């Protein structure tokens, strides 16, 4: 096996492990958000199915949040992703302009295997 093929195999295995870890942790986040009454959707590469080794997790929080609820959402995500080594973005619909929200809306897809909050 050539060195290039070995590197490709290692990279593919690492990507698969990272995807499995991201999916498992996002399932926890979405469950906890749902329990807190927060409407959220996974967007971006994880939702589209093209999550890679260096991808991050993007979650669109659609529920209007006051400072206390925002803190709760932040803690849920931080706790679930602690030590995962996977960056994440929490995007709050209430912080977006209508055009920005429409742009993110284009990125909303049904995430296979991920339950929405």
Residue 113 has pLDDT above 60, yes or no: no
Q: Is residue 95 part of a domain?
A: yes
Q: Is residue 49 part of a domain?
A: yes
Residue 110 has pLDDT above 70, yes or no: no
Q: Is residue 43 part of a domain?
A: yes
Q: Whose CA is closest to 60, among 110, 18, 94, 20? A: 94
DSSP 95: G
Checking DSSP bridges between strand 57-61 and strand 88-92, what pairing results, if any?
Answer: parallel
Q: Cβ neighbours of residue 87 under 8 Å, at least 6 residues apart?
A: 56, 57
Look at residue 115 in the predicted model and tell me its pLDDT: 46
Angle between helices 3-35 and 67-81 in degrees, nearest 10: 140
pLDDT in tens, 46-102: 988 899 888 999 999 999 999 999 999 999 999 999 999 999 999 999 999 899 888
Instruction: Judge if pTM exceeds 0.75.
Output: yes
How many Å apart are CA 47 and CA 55, to the nearest integer? 11
* Segments forming the whole domain that contains residue 93: 3-105
């Amino acid at each position: 096996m050539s060195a290039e093929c070995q590197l490709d195999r290692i990279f593919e295995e690492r990507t698969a492990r990272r995807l499995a870890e991201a999916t498992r942790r996002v399932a926890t986040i979405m469950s906890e958000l749902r329990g807190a009454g927060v409407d959220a959707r996974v967007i971006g590469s994880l939702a589209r199915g093209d999550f890679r080794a260096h991808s991050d997790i993007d979650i669109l929080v659609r529920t209007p949040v006051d400072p206390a609820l925002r803190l709760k959402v932040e803690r849920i995500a931080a706790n679930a992703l602690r030590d995962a080594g996977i960056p994440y973005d929490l995007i709050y619909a209430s912080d977006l302009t209508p055009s920005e929200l429409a742009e993110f809306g284009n990125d909303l897809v049904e995430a296979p295997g991920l339950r929405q909050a």
